Amino acid sequence: MAMQISEGDDDDLYYDAASEDDFEAEDESDSDIDEDETINWDEEFRPPVHNFQGPDDQIKDDFRHHFGTSLDILRKFIDDSMVEKIAVESNRYAEQVKRTSPRAFIGWTPVTAADIWRFLSLILAMTLVKKSSYKEYWSTDPLVSTTFFPSVMSRDRFISILRALHFVNNETVPQTNQDRFIKLGSFMTDLLMNFQRAIHAGKVLCIDESLIPFKGRLSFKQYNPKKRSRFGVKLFLVVDSAMQFVLDVLPYQGKSTQITDRSWISLVGFGGAAVLTLLQPYLDAGRRIIIDNWFHSLKLARMLKDRLTYVLGTVQKRRKGIPRGARMTRKLRKGEVETFSDGDVLIERWQDRREVLILNTFMPHGMTEWPSTNPNNQRMKPDTVLLYNKTMGGVDNVDKTIKPNQSLRKSYKWYKKVAFYLVELSVYNSMIMYNTTQNDQVGFRRLNYEVFVKSIIHNILTKFPVARKPRGRPSQSRVSVPLANMHIPERVMKENGYPSKSDCFHCKTKLGKRTITQFKCLACEKRLCIGSSVFNCFKFYHDEMSPTDFITAPQLGLNGILHPRKSALKSNRNHFKFRF
């Protein structure tokens, strides 16, 4: 993971990067080799640079329109077919385990796509609520209890889904398979394809590594003492520098890493081969690529330039082709710069707190005064260093956003950790797309990652609500009748809140007299008097109606009519409750 060149922390940018030499055995051909003596490093650097050929609007048409909720964008990346496949493979795996171990998954019920979404909502909620173990989230101890988690899913159901979570049918994996990430099935491939369908890659891309913490037994587990999580699964990420959007991911898995052309390793080392593999869809368009000294080399810069792709980044002094001589070895004063160019490549040696070596193929040498809060510390910095600091932090920004809110816990299954990390990457990209597409809305405020995660959780539980079990004794009724279709008396009110009075329909038509009433039948829309059992037009009118005019509702009594008594009439917010 690269860091910015600054006075405070610039260790990762200097040419001595032996601590990150994870592939030293595979990269020996690219180190400790003398330069080509035929190269003249005193040429003027003015290379012909092609303009970037790409659309001005990075967001593709399918994502340009405004989405209703944050979940709508997330479901563009993790679509319904992917979730359905996870449910199918998880159910299949549970049945396979039960055949060999009958006591496993006792009480298992098959999961649906809605169950998977609710499960993911809990995984995301655990990124916001930190506890020591999964079981603590369902604790009934008043000191640590959290009511949200048991309201969505029981503890045993969550643990059983976590155990059964699977992405591929184990019985169909070939015996000769070398791809360790086949454990993720098509989930990772489909997800990355959906990422690339969202935007057009911009002019500047950065490539860096990220480490998913994992201390279990794993042949391709990496160790990096400079990382906070020193052990883990390494991923190479391509990020669009303008939008900070993750475009692609290449997982490292040792010798079986999916490099497009294995011959690249002998030419540019493993880091350079990873860069060429990730950049295959983005070549021949005049893009600028920003990388750090673990990937960069002179040979890689020339190969990319042949494909109309230009590169800038720090480079190690020991790389093949880097000039040696007295100019490269003499001690520089702080702020002093030494440049080397053969006409196609520019190498700048700049002395800051320590020495920095920058190699690029598109930007001429220039110095700019960099402002500082200390007036006595105004300094000149190379333009290439300023551009590197501005554009290289794409992957670092992803880690800075996601890692404080990660759901990773101890697990023997490394692929589940990778899967949850990919889900978090999807949430991160969804946040970028949401803030970008909604930015032109009046009154819109950008959402940070934590608020966006909360929004997704709420939307998942709204879209896939939890089925509540009825409590108490079951009802004896056989049908449910809408209130508006039942014959119930209702008081009529005016807009000013006073009762509305009108002639009783039954008194006027049957008795030939005028009686004022405030009530009407909710179903019949007729004004009717409500009085004692001797004088009750509401009862008399409905007794004279044909039985076919009524809705059968056993819970309402005879003919589905409510027969109120005047003494039991009580007012409650312009409506009435009746006792029978």
3-state secondary structure 207-244: EEEEEEECCCCCCCCEECCCCCCCEEEEEEEEEECCCC
The answer to whether 186 touches 83, Cβ cutoff 8 Å, is no
The answer to whether 378 touches 371, Cβ cutoff 8 Å, is yes
Q: Is residue 565 scored above 70 in pLDDT?
A: no
Angle between helices 80-100 and 155-164 (to 10 degrees): 90
Written as six digits, the tokens of 436 are: 């970008």
Distance (Å, whole) CA 220 – CA 214: 11
Higher per-residue confidence, 547 vs 557: 547
Q: Are strands 489-491 and 379-382 parallel, antiparallel or unpaired?
A: unpaired
Q: Is residue 550 scored above 70 in pLDDT?
A: no
| pLDDT tens track for 380-405 | 899 999 999 999 988 888 988 988 88
Confidence of residue 472 (pLDDT cuts 50, 70, 90): low
Distance (Å, whole) CA 326 – CA 215: 46
| pLDDT tens track for 130-186 | 888 888 999 999 898 999 999 999 999 999 999 999 999 999 888 888 888 999 999
Written as six digits, the tokens of 23 are: 């592939």
Distance (Å, whole) CA 365 – CA 358: 11
The answer to whether 407 touches 420, Cβ cutoff 8 Å, is yes
* Count of C-beta atoms within a 10 Å radius of residue 97: 17
The answer to whether 184 touches 235, Cβ cutoff 8 Å, is no
Quote helix, strand, coil % in the chain, to nearest 5: 40, 15, 45
> Within a 13 Å sphere around the CA of 524, how many CA atoms are in the beta-carbon half?
20
Written as six digits, the tokens of 315 are: 């480079």
Q: Which of 1-10, 498-507, 535-544 is the least confident region?
A: 1-10
Question: Is residue 530 classed as helix, strand or coil in its secondary structure?
Answer: coil
| pLDDT tens track for 442-465 | 667 888 999 999 999 999 999 999
The stretch 466-487 carries a mean pLDDT of 65
pLDDT over 90 for what percent of the chain? Answer: 44
Q: Is residue 487 scored above 50 in pLDDT?
A: yes
Q: What is the pLDDT of residue 291?
A: 95
Write down the pTM of the prediction: 0.75
The DSSP 8-state label assigned to residue 137 in this structure reads G
